[in-house]
Structure 1
Amino acid sequence: MSKHLTKMVALLAILSMTFLAACGGGSDAGGTEEAKQVLNAGYAPSEPPDLNPNTATDSTSGFVLRHTMEGLTRMSEDGQPIPGVADKWEPNEDGTKITFHLRDDAKWSNGDPVKAEDFEYAWKRVLDPETAADYAYQLFYLKNGEKYNAGKADKDEVGVKAVDDKTLEVELEKPTPYFMSLTSFYTLFPVNKSVAEENKDWAADAKTFVGNGPFKLKEWKHDEKLTLVKNENYWNKGKVKLDQINLPIITDAKTGYQQYKSGELDVGDSTILPTELVASALEKGEAKSDKIPASYFYMFNTKEKPFNNAKIRKAFALAIDRKSIVENVSQGGQGPATGFVPWQMPDHAEEKPWVETREDYLQPTAQADEAKKLLEEGMKEEGIDKLPEIAISYNTDEGHKKIAEAIQQMWKKNLDVDVKLNNMEWKVYLDKTKSGDYQIGRLGWLPDYIDPMTFMDMWVTGGGNNDTKWSNKKYDKLIKEAKSTDDQKVRMEKMHEAEELLMEEMPIMPIYFYTQNYMQQDYVKGVKRLPDTSTDFSEAYLTGK
């Protein structure tokens, strides 16, 4: 998934009955005229950087997009693609050609019909090299998609075509077992072609935003809050019980926690759960925790000394005590990361969790002696007697800060290296890491679909999300081979080999595997927490306290 990083204001009560509903005094599932179904949700730890699905890359933006837009499919609670805008589809015998049939009643929030050309337009815009979309590679599965992105094919040669208003024909380069799941990811959402062509900044303001999902964007007070309301034009509006979702931007988890405790918030993720309170909140049953297929890690800028050297990178990775971090810092049931592909991600050939079908590349505790040895060897190779100033960059968040402080101490103790800490606002942080203006940066990676490839293909040479700028021809070859077959045994073998290489070269250093920690008032019902780690409120509702 996208970045959130990776992780995850007071509210204004406009009407008294809205305030009562928001505090849990709402009606039953169907709602009443006396009390509207208004949910106050703590899921925005920062201003969403980008609400255009063509270019969005982070989980905060993704949360809003998943509720205001919809792709050809949606993800079910068991991780399978189910009908979304498309009510049926027909693959050919080898799965390289899929014909999607769009619902007759699929509409945009402005009343326009959702057309097949809206998908064709959006997908080709993602691939357009001028768009410079980080997630363009998620559409390289299309026939000539990668070539068009590289300027080696014409737009009309890309394998997506609107046959008519309600028929979309998709042609793939190779059979891709997870492509149907990928169609529920926001990069593959449609964009209203006529709206976008009239106003290129349509997604930057609530007044011009047009979506096709269960909710629509009513208000966006930048750096303060977003308000979503039920979309009366949504094809499945009968299943949508909430009238409104209030999303205050909560930059301080302590503030969010107090708002939840006072009843101002009905539900929230780590946005409203301070790190130091996670353990006690879980113990008291105040919060809940689920293992999810996501990885928290640090990345190196491999183009800048000293982290152009693999031995130095590995030395810093081995000097981290991951067990201590999850037990004493994050304290939310996370697991020490022994590789990059996380727990809960399946190995489709062995039909077991991925982590059970490989050796541990990293140990839970620090390997200080080996780390010192590698650091000395790396510095000798680079011809340096002293390291330059080292800095960890992270986006403003108390949890990220505490992890950075813990690692800072570990590197001082185990490597005798002094480290500076740099924190910055989320959008600024994304811009800095994208431009290579950092040494070491934090990131969280959530799955875009349920397959190990969603973790592995981001590190290919020139990849849109490869902010390490690391490049390895053998790695690229392994990923290409894994993508060139639908034989699950071959695919998994190639990706295991690629992960082993990744952990040997160490352009990234995994820290822990995530849990999804959240708080939810008892009167909030019908919330879906999906295998891709996203939270779905499309069928949620409030009951009385």
Structure 2
Amino acid sequence: MKRFLFLLFLGALPLHVSFPLTPPEELVVAFLPGQISLNPLNAFSATEAQVYTALYEGLVSYDPATLDPVPGAASSWEVSPDGKTYTFRIREEAKFSNGDPVTAMDFRNSWLKFLHPDTKAEYSFLYDIIAGARDYRTGKNPDPNSVQIRVLSEKRLQIVLEHPSTHFLKILCHHSFVPIHPSLLEQKDWNSLSEVPGNGPYRIVEQKPDAWILKKNPHYWDTANVSIATIRFLFMQDPLSVTRRFNDYEIHWVAGGMSIDQVLYKDTIIVNPMFATYYFFFYTPDEPWNDARVRRALALLIPWDKVRTKDIQFLPAKTLVPPLPRYPKPETLEATNREEAFALLKEAGFPEGKGLPTVVFKIPEGEENRIVAALFAAAWKEALGLDSQIQTYPYPEYLTILKEGGFTLGTVSWIGDFADPLTFLQMWTSNSNLNDAKFANPEFDALIEKSFQQAGQERYKTLSEAESILLKGAVVLPIGHSPAINLIDLQFLEGWYPNPLDIHPFKYLKFTPFKPLPGVIQRKEALPYLSRGF
């Protein structure tokens, strides 16, 4: 009772807590370190996608709350009655950060560079929706004019699709559709450049291995509505140091690499479901892993009740595509079945696993990856006497190492590029540059192609059939649907919204002027702006 009365007494007194009268001009964001390319042609990480919202802008961009397409470099567009032809009007005031105008030809030349077979752009398959794009990027038709990207005038661009597509504008939000400055199209090494002109709301003014400084782009068409003058990116490996600096108000937003149990104010931990899946996959070109019977047999020996558990995953997953309204559930592999596993191995010529080579795991560093790989390896050792090697690599190098092959199983956490099953399925087609499994299946490719000509529930059914091929054949072994975890104080930063893609365009962010609660005296002495928990 005495403690209660004492608190009431304190509540009657004015609290002398200091806050500055104006918000800071610099936003500080912490990312995990990694190989961040300024060249959109070869970008594929989630960090690059977030950074690019500051540096580049496509014809359309993401609404920060809904992720719906909103006008970007294009002020408007028209769609033909048959739904196949889109005509975009590029803003007269659209410019690169060096003052050069952004034109329809810039978009056409950039997109054709993405598609050129020699570029090997990771996301070039996203262009397959455009008439002629697939044949050009796969080398079947070397004529760039066969791709239906047409320049009607300096500021008008026309796109003709293979088939009507209701999700075309959502795809255009992706950073693979941004314009590249003409001076950079043939540039091999961007790291040596003193300037990389972009057309986004910010430009880089200083770049070091552990920190970048960005300033507002004065030539950006909407610069008057960009609130924060300066952004500082920190690339930090130590989660304890990152979290301490967040607690001390030195970092405003932590986008990765935090220590959750060290966060002082729990309401700054923002967790939301994400359109993402953590999975293991087989590298399929090599024998015997190119045999679906062998892959499925090994998958049927995994103790899924121990792997797909909340002790390991926040949201255990049995499917590659995260849950979507009206999307039919594919045929999945959910339980251990030793009898079927041994029958499949015998049928494939490996009775009781005899003759199978050593399984080589290549995984990024991290306790979760190690635990899952160890559970797989232990199950196969116990059932078949099969040996395994678990090789770990630092994350910044890991994605590059995967592309070199030489392994049996790898693992990835994949974040969808738009809220549609295709973003999880199209990358497994035989001609996709993101197909690290090197999986090739004509039936699967045909189903993806068939879906391009469909709409609504019929399209979803076809895509679900395609997903079933990946799951039944154990090309993909889903583990969990990943949540998005950020540290950010939304009392003091507007324009940041939790969303399934965990992407937050920088142009919409702004500091909120602090309004003291009744009884709090605001002083002019400068204490950190983001004072919390008083």
* TM interval, short-chain normalised: 0.7 to 0.9
Q: Aligned-pair distance for 1:163? A: 1.7
**CA distance change for structure 1 residues 542 and 412 in 2, over 3 Å: closer, same or farther?**
farther
Helix, strand or coil for the counterpart of 2:435?
coil
Q: Secondary structure at the match of 2:472?
A: helix
One-letter amino acid of the counterpart of residue 493, structure 1 = K
Structure-2 separation of matches of 1:432 and 1:374: 34
Q: Helix, strand or coil: the match of 1:54?
A: helix
* Cα distance between partner residues in 2 of 1:167 and 1:72: 11
Counterpart of 1:509, as a letter, is L
SS at 1:111 equivalent: coil
How do 1:339-354 and structure 2 match up within 5 A?
A: 339-343=319-323, 346=324, 352=325, 354=327
1:44 aligns to what? 32
Summarize the Cα distance change of 1:320–1:463 in structure 2 as closer, same or farther, 3 Å threshold. farther
**1:73 Cα offset (Å):** 0.4
Per the alignment, in what secondary structure is the counterpart of residue 312 of structure 2? helix
Aligned-pair CA distance for 1:103: 0.9
Q: Which residue matches 1:519?
A: 487
Residues 230-269 of structure 1: pairs in structure 2 closer than 5 A? 230-269=216-255
Return the match for 1:115 from 103, 127, 130.
103
Report the count of equivalent residues: 493
1:10 aligned residue: none
SS at match of 1:226: strand
TM-score by length of 1: 0.83
User: Quick one: distance in 1 between partners of 2:21 and 2:200?
Assistant: 24
Q: CA deviation at 1:535?
A: 2.4
What are the residue-to-residue correspondences of 1:39-438 with 2, within 5 Å?
A: 39-48=27-36, 50-76=37-63, 77-153=65-141, 154-197=143-186, 199-201=187-189, 203-205=190-192, 207-222=194-209, 224-273=210-259, 277=261, 284-318=266-300, 319-321=302-304, 326-330=309-313, 334-343=314-323, 346=324, 352=325, 354=327, 357-358=328-329, 361-363=332-334, 367=336, 369=338, 373=342, 376-377=345-346, 380-381=349-350, 385-397=354-366, 399-405=368-374, 407-409=376-378, 411-412=380-381, 417-438=386-407
Q: Compute the displacement of 1:246 (Å).
A: 1.8
Partner letter of residue 329 of structure 1? I
Per-residue CA distance 1:130-162 (angstroms, 9 max, x = gap): 112222111122121111123333112211122
Output the amino acid matched with 1:71: G
Which has the higher mean CA deviation after the structures are superposed, 62-71 or 280-289?
Answer: 280-289
Provide the rounded CA distance (Å) in 2 between the counterparts of 1:129 and 1:52.
17
How big is each residue's C-alpha offset from its partner over 1:402-446, in whole Å with a ceiling of 9 and x where there is no partner? Answer: 544455555556665443222223453222222323221111211
CA shift in 2, pair 1:187/1:282, >3 Å:
farther
The SS at the match of 2:185 is helix
In structure 2, relative to structure 1, the CA distance for the partners of 1:208 and 1:390 (3 Å cut) is same
Between the aligned partners of 1:325 and 1:146, the Cα distance in structure 2 is 37
CA distance in 2, matches of 1:396, 1:248: 21
Sequence identity percentage: 27
Deviation per CA, 1:463-515, whole angstroms, max 9, x where unpaired? 21111111111111111100123x22221111111111221112111111111
Q: TM-score, normalised by structure 2?
A: 0.84
The alpha-carbon deviation at position 44 of structure 1 amounts to 3.3
Hey, what's the Cα distance between the residues in 2 that align with 1:390 and 1:400?
16
| Residues 103 and 27 of structure 1: CA distance in aligned 2, closer, same or farther (over 3 Å) | farther
Q: What SS does the aligned partner of 1:187 have?
A: helix
Partner in structure 2 of residue 16 of structure 1: none
Which consecutive residues of structure 2, in runs of 5 or more, have no partner in the other structure?
A: 1-17, 513-528
Q: What one-letter code is carried by the residue in structure 2 that aligns with 1:442?
A: T
- The equivalent residue for 2:422 is 453
Structure 1 SS opposite 2:207: strand
Contact between 1:67 and 1:537, CA under 8 Å: does it hold in 2?
yes
State whether residues 372 and 414 of structure 1, in contact with CA within 8 Å, keep that contact through their aligned partners in structure 2.
no
Q: Pick closer, same or farther for the CA change 1:132–1:359 going to 2, 3 Å.
A: closer
- CA distance in 1: counterparts of 2:343 and 2:404, whole angstroms: 29
Q: Which of 292-301 and 517-526 deviates more?
A: 517-526
Letter in 2 for 1:229: K
* Structure 2 counterpart SS, 1:40: strand
AA aligned opposite 2:69 = P
* CA RMSD of superposed structures (Å): 2.8
The answer to whether the 8 Å contact 2:330/2:464 transfers is no
Deviates more, 1:475-484 or 1:306-315: 306-315
How much does 1:43 deviate?
Answer: 2.5
Q: What residue identity is the alignment partner of 1:338?
A: K
For residue 86 of structure 1, report the CA deviation from its aligned partner.
0.5
Change in 2 beyond 3 A, CA 1:283/1:292: farther
Name the SS for the 1:528 alignment partner.
coil
Q: What CA deviation, in whole Å up to 9, does each residue of 1:209-230 have, x standing for no partner?
A: 11111111222223x2222222
Partners of 2:345 and 2:352 within 8 A in 1: no
1:107-140 deviation line (CA, Å, top 9, x unaligned): 1111111111111011000111111222211112
Deviation of 1:307 after TM superposition, in Å, equals: 2.0
